[in-house]
Amino acid sequence: MNSKDVENKIIENYQKDENMMILIFAQWCVNHSLNPYEIYVKAYPNQQQNPALKQAIDLTVSKEEAGEIPDQTLLNVLSLFGNEDLAFVVSEEIGNIKKNTD
């Protein structure tokens, strides 16, 4: 494998991982009866067209079918990919959810 092949493989793996992160985010939103698109736009108002988010939303399942995604897991995954703005908005939503269940 030459250096270009290695570079392409690294990029491909990163993109797969990034898509998984987006799917985790979208499914977490569905699990909490939130609209993933609306939450995303709060964090990134200038990125209203995000094909990866649309694809992830299409892949989500109902909250009855989905497994639980712990809040901290989502926040860790978002931070891992540098999505601090989205992690901040998600943290606010977590606070709202906790207020409404107390």
pLDDT in tens, 39-79: 999 999 998 789 999 999 999 999 999 999 999 999 999 99
Q: What is the rounded distance in angstroms from the CA atom of residue 9 to the CA atom of residue 2?
A: 11
Q: What is the rounded distance in angstroms from the CA atom of residue 61 to the CA atom of residue 45?
A: 26
Question: What does the pLDDT read at residue 30?
Answer: 98
Question: What does the pLDDT read at residue 34?
Answer: 97
- Number of Cβ within 10 Å of residue 6's Cβ equals 10
Residue 79 token pair: 């931070």
Average pLDDT of the segment spanning 73-100:
95
Question: What does the pLDDT read at residue 48?
Answer: 76
Question: What does the pLDDT read at residue 9?
Answer: 86
pLDDT in tens, 16-31: 889 999 999 999 999 9
Q: First CA to last CA across the chain, in angstroms?
A: 56
Question: What does the pLDDT read at residue 89?
Answer: 98
Q: In the structure, what pLDDT confidence band is assigned to residue 8 with cuts at 50, 70 and 90?
A: confident
Residue numbers of the domain that contains 55: 3-101
Structural domain total, the chain: 1
Backbone angles phi, psi at 47, to 5 degrees: -120, 55
Question: What does the pLDDT read at residue 14?
Answer: 81
